[in-house]
């Protein structure tokens, strides 16, 4: 099966591309490299230096004999996106290609607008390109648990049945995001839901928790895990670094943990190896046409 990994130079995307390629999927990576640019803009870098994408892909081929196609460009550019899809002809599209840091989206108006335009327009372009040329392809889109916020009742994935004034319905679970970034994901979810309804597309919205881990130990060969050119990124700065990564680095160097707020928050965390296996499960079992699967 042919799978296009959008955002394949990023953290979750790179791990997913390698895992799917190792499992025999024909993989293409589409990425604008904008994340490397954002790192430079705020003067941060991954603790594990990552090689240029062409070198990463070449090393993968040298070690495994498996080819990964590369398309460098921005999905907010519709012409580029639709040409890429026609060239690669994906059966599944895994979409990780977004600005994903809440603090980055909250820096100022420019960053809030940029985040929402990048994420909402990019996803909308994918939906239109699928409707035009690949109506049977399956979109696996990365959402986040942050779309739901922290309500004082259990979170139901996707839908909740509500009884109100004697009548009952199953409705999308209320969203209470906490940043302009999280709001962009909520807008995406609504757009995908609507596109499935009116155009009969297939889509799965995976709302994952915070992902941790670097190596796919146990899933890929040790030689691959140890290869410096294939290493994944590890963000630990105050903008793109996730709390768990920061706490681990701080503990390792004897720095006091920079706990936010009262320190009472509980969150779900996900091993990167579960992320990639979850992607494969979703791809191997596509959503029904016209159904928005969450």
Ligand X SMILES: NC(=O)c1ccc[n+]([C@@H]2O[C@H](COP(=O)([O-])OP(=O)(O)OC[C@H]3O[C@@H](n4cnc5c(N)ncnc54)[C@H](O)[C@@H]3O)[C@@H](O)[C@H]2O)c1
181 is known as an active-site residue:
yes
The nearer residue to ligand X, 33 or 162, going by C-beta atoms, is 33
CB of 168 to ligand X, least distance (A): 32
Report the Cα 189 to chain-centroid distance in Å: 13
Contact between 46 and ligand X (CB under 6 A)?
Answer: no
- Which residues in 274-293 contact ligand X (CB under 6 A)? none
Contact between 177 and ligand X (CB under 6 A)?
Answer: no
DSSP state of 265: -
If you write DSSP's letter for every residue of 88-129 in order, what string do you get?
H--SEEEE--S---HHHHTS-HHHHHHHHIIIIIHHHHHHHH
The nearer residue to ligand X, 35 or 138, going by C-beta atoms, is 35
Token digits of residue 199:
């155009």
Give the total of residues touching ligand X (CB under 6 A): 27
Among 120, 211, 234, 276, binds ligand X (CB under 6 A): 211
HEC string of 24-75 equals: CCEEEEEECCHHHHHHHHCCCCCCCCCCCHHHHHHHHHHHHCCCEEEEECCC
148 is known as an active-site residue:
no
CB of 218 to ligand X, least distance (A): 20
The catalytic position among 11, 71, 148, 181 is 181
The catalytic position among 11, 46, 185, 236 is 185
> What gap in Å lies between CA 210 and CA 278, rounded to an integer?
14
Contact between 147 and ligand X (CB under 6 A)?
Answer: no
185 is known as an active-site residue:
yes
Buried b (16+ CB within 10 A) or exposed e, 46-58: beeebeebeebbb
Distance spanning both ends of the chain, measured CA to CA: 22
Contact between 7 and ligand X (CB under 6 A)?
Answer: yes
The catalytic position among 115, 144, 204, 242 is 144
Among 21, 115, 123, 144, binds ligand X (CB under 6 A): 144
CB of 35 to ligand X, least distance (A): 3
If you write DSSP's letter for every residue of 215-254 in order, what string do you get?
--BTTB-HHHHH-GGGPPP---STTT--HHHHHHHHHHHT
Contact between 96 and ligand X (CB under 6 A)?
Answer: yes
The nearer residue to ligand X, 158 or 200, going by C-beta atoms, is 158
The binding site for ligand X (CB under 6 A) comprises 7, 9-13, 31-35, 74-76, 96-100, 118, 122, 142, 144, 208, 210-211, 242
Active site residues: 144, 181, 185
């Amino acid at each position: 099966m042919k799978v296009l990994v959008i955002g394949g130079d990023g953290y979750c995307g790179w791990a997913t591309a390698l895992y799917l390629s190792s499992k025999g999927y024909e993989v293409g990576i589409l990425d604008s490299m904008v994340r490397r640019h954002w790192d430079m803009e705020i003067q941060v870098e991954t603790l594990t230096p990552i090689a240029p994408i062409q070198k990463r892909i070449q090393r993968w081929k040298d070690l495994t004999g498996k080819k990964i196609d590369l398309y460098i460009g921005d999905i907010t550019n519709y012409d580029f996106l639709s040409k890429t899809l026609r060239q690669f002809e994906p059966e599944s599209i895994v979409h990780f290609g977004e600005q994903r840091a809440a603090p980055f989206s909250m820096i100022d108006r420019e960053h809030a607008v940029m985040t929402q335009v990048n994420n909402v327009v990019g996803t909308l372009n994918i939906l239109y390109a699928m409707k035009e040329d690949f109506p049977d392809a399956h979109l696996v889109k990365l959402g986040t648990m942050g779309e739901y916020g922290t309500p004082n009742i259990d979170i139901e994935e996707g839908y909740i049945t509500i009884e109100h004034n004697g009548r009952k319905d199953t409705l999308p679970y209320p969203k209470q995001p906490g940043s302009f970034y999280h709001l962009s994901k909520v807008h995406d979810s609504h757009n995908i839901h609507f596109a499935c309804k009116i155009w009969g597309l297939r889509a799965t919205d995976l709302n994952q928790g915070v992902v941790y881990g670097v190596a796919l130990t146990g899933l890929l060969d040790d030689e691959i895990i140890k290869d410096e050119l294939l290493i994944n990124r590890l963000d630990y700065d105050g903008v793109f670094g996730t709390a768990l990564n920061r706490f681990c680095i701080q503990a390792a160097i004897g720095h006091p943990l920079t706990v936010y707020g009262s320190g009472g928050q509980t969150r779900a965390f996900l091993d990167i190896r579960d992320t990639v296996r979850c992607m494969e499960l979703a791809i191997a079992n596509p959503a029904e046409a016209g159904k928005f699967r969450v």
